[in-house]
Chain A
Amino acid sequence: DTEVTQTPKHLVMGMTNKKSLKCEQHMGHRAMYWYKQKAKKPPELMFVYSYEKLSINESVPSRFSPECPNSSLLNLHLHALQPEDSALYLCASSPQGNYGYTFGSGTRLTVV
C-alpha cells in the first residue's frame, strides 16, 4: 500500500458544527502532516507529527485540533470554523530522513 487516504473527500459544515477529517497510511511512515491550501495558492504547513508526537504547530487557531492516535492515523478536529477556513486540507506522510512526502488527494472543506 503506497497511498495516503483522506476522508471525506468533500465536507460542508456550518459555523457551529463539529466535524473531523481523517487521514490514514500503511507505509510505516512515522511523520505525518496537515497542510491547508486556498485556491490558486501553495499548500501551507499547519501541523507536523513525528512518532505520534506534535512537533510543529504553525500558530494555527485552536478551532483546529490535530490528533495522532497511532502511527497510521491522523485526525483533524474542526469546531466553530469561519467561512474563511474553507479550503483544501491535505494530509501527507514521510519516512524519517530526507525522503519524499506522500500526499493524499485532500478534503475540500466548505464552511457556510
Chain B
Amino acid sequence: DAKTTQPNSMESNEEEPVHLPCNHSTISGTDYIHWYRQLPSQGPEYVIHGLTSNVNNRMASLAIAEDRKSSTLILHRATLRDAAVYYCIPRRDQNDMRFGAGTRLTVKP
C-alpha cells in the first residue's frame, strides 16, 4: 500500500477556504485516492475520491497533482461542523482500505 504523509494538525477560520494536503509519492497507477473524515464521537464519513482528474461534490473538491504523488482536499467555506480528522487513503484493492494518521482540522469562529 502507498504511504501517505499529512500534517498532524491544521487550523482554519470559519467561512474561509481550507486546503488539506496529502503526499502519496509511492502511489501506483491504479490506486484511487479516497478522503474520509471523522467527526468527534462518530464513525468515519466518506468525503470524495478520484483517480487522475480533479473531482467536485457537494462536500468538497479534490485536486490531484499531474504526477499523482500528491493531492489536496479543498473545503470551500469551512464551518464549525467541518472540525474533524481528515484521512487521505490511496486504495488499490476495492475491499481493502487502511487509515493513516490523518490531519486534525480545527475551525475557529
Contact = CB atoms under 8 A, between A and B. Distances in A.
Interface stretch (B17-25, B39-47, B63-71, B72-80): B39-47
Contacts of A55: 95
Interface residues of A, number: 25
A50 interface: yes
B7 interface: no
Given A42-B87, A42-B101, A56 B96 contact: yes
B98 interface: yes
Interface stretch (A61-69, A73-81, A90-98): A90-98
A110 interface: no
Contact of A43 (B32, B44, B45): B44
Nearest to B87: A42
Interface in B82-97: 85, 87, 91, 94-97
B101 A103 contact: no
**Chain A binding site: helix, strand, loop or mixed by DSSP?**
strand
A56 B97 CA distance: 11
B49 A101 contact: no
A44 B49 CA distance: 20
Contacts of B95: 31, 33, 48, 50, 55-56, 94, 96
Contacts of A7: none
A100 B46 contact: yes
B94 A102 contact: no
Contacts of B41: 105
A101 B46 contact: yes
A87 interface: no
Interface of A: 4, 31, 33, 42-45, 48, 50, 55-56, 90, 92, 94, 96-106
